Each structure stands twice: as structure tokens, then as C-alpha cells.
Amino acid sequence: MNRKRIIDIIIILVLACAPLFLNTYWVDVLNNIGIYAILALSLNFILGHTGLFHMGHAAFYAIGAYTTAILNTMYHIPIIWLMPLSGVLAGIFGYLVARPIIHLRGDYLLIVTIGIVEIVRIALVNNIFGITGGSNGIFGISRPKLWGFVIRRPQDFFYYIWIFLGISVYLFYRLENSRFGRALNYIKEDDLAAEGSGVDSSGYKLKAFIIGAIWAGFVGNIYASKMTIISPESFSFWESVILFVIVILGGSGSMRGIILGSFLIIGLPELFRQFASARMLIFGAAMVVMMIFRPQGIIPPKPRTYNLDFLKLGEAEK
Amino acid sequence: MELFIQQLTNGLAIGGIYALIALGYTMVYGVMKLINFAHGDLFSIGAYLGLTLLLSLGLVDKIGVLGGILLLMLMVMGLVGIIGIILERVAYRPLRKADRLSAVVSALGASIFFANSLMLIYGAKFRVYPHNILPKMAVDILGMKIPLIRILLLLASFILMTALYLFVQKTKTGTAIRAAAIDQGAAKLMGINVNKIISIVFFIGPALGGAAGIMVGLYYGQINFLMGWLYGLKAFIAAVIGGIGNIPGAMLGGIILGVVESLGAAYVSFAWKDAIAFLVLIIILIVRPTGILGERVAEKV
Amino acid sequence: MSLLELRNLTKTFGGLMAVNEVSFSVDKGAVVGLIGPNGAGKTTVFNLITGNYKPDSGEIIFEGENIVGLPTHKIVNLGIARTFQTIRLFQNLSVLENVLAGCHCRMKAGMLACMFRPKWQKEEEKEALKKAWAELEFVGLSKELTNKAKNLSYGNQRLLEIARALATSPKLIILDEPAGGMNEQETQELVELIGEIKKRGITVLLIEHDMSLVMRICEHIVVLEHGAKIAEGTPEEVKNNPLVIEAYLGVDED
């Protein structure tokens, strides 16, 4: 237990110093890893904790990014202010699309969520309402400004993204280890039994979608301001597949696993750029092998622990 | 009217292709309750193998158009069928007792693997099918010129589907397949070799998909390593529309989807063509989740 | 006074009459048994009460309110908890967390409260743990706290289901074959446990195949056959009812 904490602290320290010894390229790789990690953590509520096969997470991410891009380029609203709005709009969108489909069986839900992300992408390409800029997308998005400091260089974004990741992990940890997180796990285990124990199954499934969508919306805001250009290609179905795979390979329901998964799936291919063309091939084969030999993921979640000391029991578990 | 008939026949031709691919999804789903995400890529493999064999063997020159293409189709169907059996052995059989999610992820992995193998072998660009194989004839129907190839495609998919239907309904193996689809455990107890049945299903489905691959190559004239994904998705939608696990349902669903999409592209919007398919799927699943021909089953408490 | 009243409840499955015009009432504080040969529709009646199925017609009155059409979790919230015939625990979660599931409906913390954890949320969480612990102690499983549910013996899994149901603080608990798969000693302990539940003022409605158990603990028995009620009364009355004897003759009961 203690050793684990020391390792955690070392990793955090090394990461915090990373921009000092890495060149811009690698810092940017770390930024991408961070972005995918937050997205995968938000998907984790839906896929990992609740067990809903959701393969359209990029749709929520897209709503957040386009909300930011459109309002920033048209009305010059500062990026930071747009972050909560992007989250809320993505959350509302998540609620609206999830509501009619929430009762669908596992693999049907999977296909429908693929459909949703494709419809969103097609709508963006077709310049829906004349505001998404079609397949060229939107450019000229401003940088975020925090207390007068403009976040511009990859190094700035590194701290911006990874601190946001840290805050997310902190809040998600609390959410997981409480009434909310437990309810999601009950539904994953057996939604009928959960309902029979007094858990509002469809209500909580929707809530999982909403919280996941809100966070994806936040990340959309970060991404838009990092790139300053966004286009529908960034929110394709494949992005959703990658997020899905990060969660499953890392370990459904395990935040450590998912962050490690982001490093492996986003970071590792960068190390093997000379094999760039073969890396997707290896990626596919690895998925098959992984499911056969370690389906629970690289780092499966630990069971929750409860402090029962207040019951003053001799054999209370720590 | 002219536009309508043209789009209708086009939709029927594409619908037949969707139906052929959908059969692979629906048969596998029926027996194993698994969405074989790699199925669309088996379809692409069929298209590429067809191209290779067409160019290298020169069958059309040697034994004529009809015989050449028929022989080509049979060869490709056999090869893709074998790849299907191998796929099941390697990626799905070890997961038969695992939970559904693992199998779905494994299927996705296999899909990515196949698509990228094609890219490594054939390159990322579009490949062109020889366009002068089939005579560019048009048939005069009610004063309208319908391209011959559409009729041939529809005919070919109809023959393949009928053959499959007769096989499943009339033969002993077909009965065993149907039995395994209803209850694998009970089928096993009745002395049916379920492993063999699954292998047969994984031969037939991909074989039909491979045939569809050649047909797309011949119809559109060009193929791409990623096309399997979209076709696969559409075909899966077709299977769901008809009622997944249900063989006539897949045929019906394919035809319906092809026609709706083709008419939608002409009368609603071409740019939204792909979105229409997904919209149809979502509406069907919300209104009647078991599809048109599927049966409703109450969940046991 | 009756706590639960079924009025002319009917349910068909595609033409098959599963429950036919069944009416009976369960008095507050009573232990009521629902018996009948296999396929008589007992579990269907339970599923109708708990909202898993919707009746074609008829009313289910709980504390003076018609609960037909309410979703299951709302019915649990009103005070009807159940166990399942085929055990439905959260197999991969700990024994403690299984019982905490029952506490869920008596808690309030939503998404924001869980994230930002105000003082009342922490108190609530503590109370839930206390309650869960108490219910585990009550059924005698407090030593298994961190064990996964799937590692428990069959009999203990049944007890865990009861603990989970009790954690919802029910007014009425519905037990679907609680002694199924239990050995004699476990069954005896179950009889005592049901007595304890009754002492807590919780009304019990149960389905059971073990006739001796039903006769021992139920003060009122309802008999179903082919989806219809054929008799009801005290164990003595039911035992001597010719219709009941006929219904059970030749039927293999274990």
C-alpha cells in the first residue's frame, strides 16, 4: 500500500517535470495522451462502471469542441467561459440522445451509439445550420487565458491539460466511491436486481451518460483551443473506438488502468513511428490477444474499501 | 418517374448486396449471439481477392464472361469462407465462455487487423476493377433503360439467398444450424456437434460476404481497404431492421435499406445518405427493437 | 388491517393465462404463504406486485394506494422489498456492497453531493454502513463482509438476498422460495429468521415448496392453481380443503 503511494508520487513528479527534459514534440504527445485519458475516464462512467456499450463518445466531444469554436469565433467569448457552457450543452445533448435508447440491450446500444456519432459527423460535414464550416471545419479559435496568462505553447498546455486531468481524477474518485458509483456498479452487475433493490436503473444509466457527456464537452473545449482549428475528421467513429479500447484494455472501471491505457495506445505508437504503417495491424492483433488472455484489462479495478472503525468492531476490515 | 425507377433498381441492386452481407451477421448472431465486427472486412477481402484473381488468372478471357465470373466468385467464396473459419478459431472460440464485451472487442481487433493487412498489401489508395469485363448494356423495361449489371446483381444475390434458404430449411445440416441458434445447450444434448455448426456458419457467412465484395467491385468499379467498415455497418443495420438472427429478415432488411437509402439520396439529400441508414436503424430500434420479423421475448425474472 | 390487497389481478402471456382474477390481502404484521403446484403462477404474482410485470387488469393496493404501473424501484421505495427465486446478487461485489444496494433508496446524495461531499453526505454514508452492518449481523453474515457474493455458499447467498431486501427498510418483504437449496439445519435457521423479521414488525409474504415450513410459519395461506386462487385460510383449513388436496395429488412436490 505504502509502496504504491511512493510510486504514484514519483510518477507525478516525473510527469510534472517532463516539459523540462522533453522537446516540444514529445510534450505534445503527452498532451494528446492527457486529452485521451480524460475522455476515456469520462467514458469510463458509461462503459466501465455501468457496463453500457457506448461507442459514440466522440459525438459528445464534438459538441463541446464545436460549441466552443462557434461561440468563440462568432462572438469572441473567451475560451475559459465557454468551458462550462460546452460541458452543459454536451450534457444536454447526451441526455437527449440517450433517453430514447437507454433501454436497449447491450449490442443494440453499441450499434445505435455508432449511428449517433456518424450522424453527428455527417451533420458537421454538411455544415448543419450553416455554422460548422463543413468539412473544412472552423479555424481561428483563440487560446485560453487564465488570469491574464495566455496558454499558448505545448508546455503551457501540458500543465493546463494534466492539471485538469488531476482535478478530474480527484472528483471521479469521490464519485466512484460513493452512492453514485455503487449504483452504477449494481446496474452493471445485474440491472434487474439493482432495480429490485430500489436503484432507479434507467435514471442512473442516463446520469452516467450525462456526466460522461459533460466531461467530454469540457475536453472538447480544451481541444478546440489547443488546436485552434477543428474539423469533423477529429470526431470520427474511430476516435470513439480508440476511447472504447483504452477503457477496455486499460481496465474497465479502473482509473489507473485507463491512464496507463492512454499512454500505451496513444503514446506507444509514437515510439514506433518507423513501423507506422504496421502499427494499426499490431494494435488490432493486440486487442484480440488481450481479450483472450487478460479480458479484465491491464490493471483491473480494486474492490472498494470501507472504513468501519466507527462500528468499533474487533474484526472490522480496513 | 424515370428517376424513381432508376433509383429503385439501383436500390434493389445495392440492397441485394447489403442482404448478402447481412446474412453473415445474422447467421453468426443467431448461433453465437455475437456481432462479428470483422465481417465487413471479410467482405473487403473478398473484393480484393476477386481483383487479384481476376487480373492474374485471366479467367474471363479463357472461358468467357459469365463462366469466368462465376468461377471467380466460387473461388473467392471458398477462400473468404476459409478465412472466416480461421477467424472464428483464433479470435472467437477462446472467448466463447467469456462475457459478450470481450468478444465484441476481439471482433473489433480482428476488424482493425484485417483492414490494415489489406492496406499493407494493396496500399491505401482506391483500386480499380477492370471496367470492361461486363458489357455495358442496358435493358429496356417499360421504355426505361436499366443497366444490365443491376439486374444481374439482383439476380445473383437472389440466387445465393435462395440457395442459402433452401440449405437452412431443407437439409439436415441446416436444421442443425437452426437448432443451435435456438438453444446451443439443447442442440449439444441432441448430439449436434456445435463446434462444427459454428465452423459451417463461419464459412457460409463470410463466403456470401466475399461474393458481395466482388459484386461491389464490379458495380462501382473501385474498392478501398476501409469500405468494409461502412458496408458492414449498413449490412448490420439491415440485419437489425429485419430482426437479427432471422435469415429471411436479413434479406428483407437489406432490400429495404438499399431502397430507402437510394430513394433518400435522390429525393431527400445525397449528402445525408449515410445518415439516413442510421436514422432508420435508430427509429426501428426505438419503435420495434426486435426488427420487422423478429419475435418479442419477455425477459425472464 | 390489510397492508397489501390484490384485486382481480389478471396477467396473460400471449394468450396463456398466467394469473386469473386473483384477489387476496395480506394483513399488517402477518406471515402469509402463497403456495401451489409448479406453474401455478406464484412467481408471476410476485412479479406483478413488484412491478416487474404489468397486470392486464386488476389493482394492487399497498397502504391504500394503487401501485399498478409504478416502476419497480418506486415500489421498493414505498416499502416492498423482494428476493428472487433464482438468486440475483451482485456476484462480483462484496457482501457489504450487496447490502449497501438496499440502503441506496433511503439515501439522498446525488452526483454533486458525491463529488463535493458535504458533511451530511458523509453522515449519510456512515449511517448506510451502520445499517448494512446491522442487517448482515441480523442474518448472521457479518463475518463475510469483504467476501465476494459469488464465493458464498448457496444458503448464505439466500440470506444475503434477505439482508439486501431488509436494508431497504421495507414494510413488506416478499420471499420467493427462501429455503430453496437449503439443507435441513439452514432451513430451521431460516424459520427462526423469518420469526425475527416478523418481530421487527415487517410483514412477510412468501412462496415456498417446503410444505412443512409453510405450515409452521404462515398464519395465512393462499393456494393457486393454473393461475387462479382455489383456496385460502389458516394452515389447518387449507390442509383439509378437498380442492387443495386434489390439486396436489399426483403432483411431485419436493
A194 and A183 in contact (C-beta within 8 Å)?
Answer: yes
B-chain residues near C53 (CB < 8 A): 301
**Which amino acid is residue C219, in one-letter code?**
E
What is the predicted ipTM? 0.91
Per-residue pLDDT, A317? 45
**B63: CB partners within 8 A, 6+ apart:** B71
Scanning every residue of chain C, which has its alpha carbon at the shortest distance from the alpha carbon of B295?
Answer: C14
Neighbours of chain A (3+ CB pairs under 8 A): B, C
Q: Report in angstroms the alpha-carbon separations of B210 from B20, B213, B274, C10.
A: 9, 5, 22, 52
pLDDT tier for residue A127 given thresholds of 50, 70 and 90: confident
Q: Radius of gyration of chain B from Cα atoms?
A: 19
Q: How far is the C-alpha of A66 from the C-alpha of A52, rounded, in Å? A: 26
pLDDT at A121 over 60: yes
Domains and CATH numbers, chain B: 2-287 (1.10.3470)
pLDDT for A232 beyond 70: yes
Q: Which of B54-58, B226-230, C237-241 has the lowest mean pLDDT?
A: B54-58
Flag whether residue C131 sits within 8 Å of chain A, measured between CB atoms.
no
Measure Cα distances from A250 to A30, A246, A260, A301, C157 in Å.
Answer: 17, 6, 6, 10, 32
Residue B3 has pLDDT above 70, yes or no: yes
Domains of chain C: 1-79+170-254 (3.40.50.300), 89-167 (no CATH)
Q: pTM of this prediction? A: 0.88
Contact B301 C13 (CB under 8 A): no
User: Do the chains contact at C52 and B298, CB–CB below 8 Å?
Assistant: no
pLDDT in the model for residue C164: 96
Chain B contacts in chain C segment 6-65 (CB below 8 A): 13, 43, 47, 52-53
Collect all residues with Cβ–Cβ distance below 8 Å to A202 and sequence separation of at least 6: A102, A103
The string of pLDDT tens digits covering residues C160-202 is 999 999 999 999 999 999 988 888 899 999 999 999 999 999 9
Q: What is the C-alpha to C-alpha distance for residues B298 and B252, in angstroms, rounded to an integer?
A: 24
pLDDT, tens digit, 9 for 90 and up, residues B82-96: 999 999 999 999 998
In this complex, do A303 and C89 lie within 8 Å of one another by their Cβ atoms?
A: no
- Residue B99: the pLDDT is 81
B interface with C, Cβ–Cβ below 8 Å:
298, 301
Q: Is the pLDDT of residue C254 over 60?
A: no
- Smallest Cα distance from B194 to chain A, Å: 21
Please report the pLDDT score of residue A169 as a whole number.
Answer: 95
Mean pLDDT of A285-308: 88
Q: State the count of interchain CB pairs (< 8 A) between B and C.
A: 6
Which of the listed ranges A53-57, A91-95, B59-63 does the model predict with the highest average pLDDT? A91-95
Residues B48-82 have pLDDT tens digits of: 999 998 888 877 777 777 788 888 899 999 999 99
> Quick one: CA torsion of B194, B195, B197, B203, rounded to 10 degrees?
160
Query: Does the distance separating the beta carbons of B298 and C47 come in below 8 Å?
Result: no
Please name the residues in contact with B84: beta carbons below 8 A apart, sequence gap of 6 or more: B42, B202, B203, B205, B206, B207
What φ, ψ does residue A189 adopt, rounded to 5°? -65, -45
Nearest CB among A180, A192, A199 relative to C114 is that of: A180
Residues of A in contact with C76 (CB under 8 A): 196-198
| Confidence (pLDDT) at C119 | 93
Q: Which residues contact A58 (CB under 8 A, 6 or more apart)?
A: A117, A120, A121, A235, A236, A237, A239, A240, A243
| Structural domain spans, chain A | 2-240
**CA nearest to B124 within chain A:** A277
In single-letter form, the type of residue at position C165 comes to A
Are C95 and C46 a contacting pair, CB within 8 Å? no
Averaged pLDDT, A78-97: 95
Does residue C216 register a pLDDT over 80? yes
Chain A hits for B117, CB-CB cut-off 8 Å, are 281
Cβ–Cβ gap C13/B298 under 8 Å: yes
- CA of B62 to nearest chain A CA: how many angstroms apart? 37
Helix (H) or strand (E) holding C90: none
What gap in Å lies between CA A224 and CA A65, rounded to an integer?
5
Q: Are C83 and C176 in contact (CB under 8 A)?
A: yes
Q: Are C174 and C206 in contact, with CB atoms under 8 Å apart? A: yes
Mean pLDDT across B11-15:
90
Q: Which of B116, B161, B147 is nearest to B15 (CA)?
A: B161
Nearest CA in chain C to A194: C101
Q: Give B-chain residues touching A277 at CB under 8 angstroms.
A: 116, 119-120
B116 vs A53, A118, A281: nearest CB: A281
Q: Please name the member of A119, A285, A287 whose beta carbon is closest to the beta carbon of B278.
A: A119
pLDDT classification of B133: cutoffs 50, 70, 90: confident
Answer yes or no: are the C-beta atoms of B6 and B258 closer than 8 Å.
no
Torsional class of A138: left (φ above 0), alpha (ψ -120 to 50), beta (otherwise): beta
Higher pLDDT, A308 or B117: B117
CA distance C39 to chain B (A): 14
Lowest mean pLDDT among A274-278, B165-169, C191-195: A274-278
Q: How confident is the model at residue A1 (pLDDT cuts 50, 70, 90)?
A: low
Residues C143-154, mean pLDDT to the nearest whole number: 91
